[in-house]
């Protein structure tokens, strides 16, 4: 590791000031991603700002919904009674990710800002536009089985690794942040970026901004939800394809449905056309298949990951079916329901 300064602010304002005054500064809390990146020399911060003393560790009611502080651990969120009662999709998505030990350390804000697990990004001996803009993307035409099939660019085909974020996208969460210009709220769908010409920028955070909370809307779906994760091994692996689904029904008719895909893009992937198609339709296999076909029609697979197109299509159908039936996928018994 390189040498770095270390500061531990007591207030959000002090943290923002420390970020503005640091050379290549980074916030650190649980450290479950940043420390690994530092070990691999992918990240070489000149200053670490330890934010673990900031007052961002509560889950509380806000505007009829719930506000989850940036420093609340993933385990705390997953087992919180209010989250499980009102937003069980989020709890399920979190429990599908990582291991118990990592969830005990990882934070809500850190999960939002974790970086891709692309092989080339982690290997400093290879080019990577996310590490060194303009150096190239060897995953294009290289080893790309785990890479994106939606929203790619000639500069990057990496995927976002989070399970929690896929659930938050389907729930239409918002992200509250603070920075040198004050506080602002970012709709969750606008928080993460597609790679475009600047794949080194993962989010729409402005310089010096810090995540304060993730806020969930005043909305409930009862049993009509699911988080389905398909991966190479069940014990502990990132998603090849995942789908988070919430649905409201009037009898056997879909009043509204939202779903987001993980493992297929640079951000949790939603398709507004497919979601709009579902409204007012009968909750049948044929309806779900038609919606899935709308989504995968936009897929642009790479040399080794064309299998993800059909996998995503089937996952969407299965996820929508589980949500409609009120039989969400179990995260303890990972056999597909």
Residue 41, pLDDT > 90, answer: yes
pLDDT at 337: 74
pLDDT at 234: 83
Mean pLDDT of 117-136: 97
Residue 128, pLDDT > 90, answer: yes
Residue 333, pLDDT > 90, answer: no
Q: How confident is the model at residue 1 (pLDDT cuts 50, 70, 90)?
A: low
Q: d(Cα 318, Cα 335) in Å, to the nearest integer?
A: 13
Give 192-240 pLDDT, tens digit per residue: 999 999 999 999 999 999 999 999 999 988 899 999 999 998 878 999 9
Ordered by where they begin, the domains of the chain are 5-52 (3.30.43.10), 225-325 (3.30.390.50)
Q: How confident is the model at residue 283 (pLDDT cuts 50, 70, 90)?
A: very high
> Residues 179, 181, 185, 191: what is their CA dihedral angle, to the nearest 10 degrees?
-60
Q: d(Cα 220, Cα 171) in Å, to the nearest integer?
A: 9
Give 132-177 pLDDT, tens digit per residue: 999 999 999 999 999 999 999 999 999 999 999 999 999 999 999 9
């Amino acid at each position: 590791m390189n040498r770095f300064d270390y500061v531990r602010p007591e207030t959000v304002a002090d943290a923002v000031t420390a970020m503005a005054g640091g050379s290549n500064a980074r916030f650190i809390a649980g450290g479950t991603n940043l420390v690994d990146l530092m070990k691999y020399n992918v990240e070489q911060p000149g200053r670490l700002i330890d934010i673990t003393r900031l007052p961002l560790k509560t889950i509380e009611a806000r505007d009829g919904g719930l506000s989850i502080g940036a420093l609340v651990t993933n385990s705390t969120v997953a087992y919180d009674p209010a989250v499980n009662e009102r937003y069980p999709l989020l709890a399920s998505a979190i429990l599908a990710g990582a291991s118990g030990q990592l969830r005990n350390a990882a934070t809500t804000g850190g999960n939002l800002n974790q970086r891709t697990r692309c092989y080339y990004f982690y290997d400093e001996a290879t080019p990577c536009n996310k590490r060194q803009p303009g150096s190239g993307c060897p995953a294009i035409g290289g080893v790309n089985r785990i890479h994106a099939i939606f929203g790619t660019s000639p500069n990057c085909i990496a995927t976002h690794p989070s399970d929690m974020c896929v659930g938050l996208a389907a729930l239409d969460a918002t992200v509250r942040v603070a920075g040198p210009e004050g506080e602002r709220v970012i709709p969750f769908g606008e928080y993460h970026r597609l790679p475009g010409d600047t794949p080194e920028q993962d989010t729409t955070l402005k310089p010096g901004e810090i995540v304060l909370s993730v806020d969930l809307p005043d909305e409930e779906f009862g049993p009509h939800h699911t988080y389905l994760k398909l991966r190479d091994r069940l014990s502990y692996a990132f998603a090849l394809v995942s789908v988070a689904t919430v649905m409201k029904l009037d009898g056997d008719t879909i009043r509204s449905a939202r779903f987001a895909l993980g493992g297929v893009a640079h951000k949790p992937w939603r398709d507004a056309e497919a979601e709009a198609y579902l409204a007012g339709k009968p909750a049948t296999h044929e309806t779900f298949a038609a919606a899935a076909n709308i989504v995968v029609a936009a897929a642009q697979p790479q040399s080794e990951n064309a299998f993800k197109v059909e996998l995503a299509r089937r996952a969407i159908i299965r996820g929508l079916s589980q949500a409609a039936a009120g039989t969400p996928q179990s995260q303890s018994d990972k056999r597909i329901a």
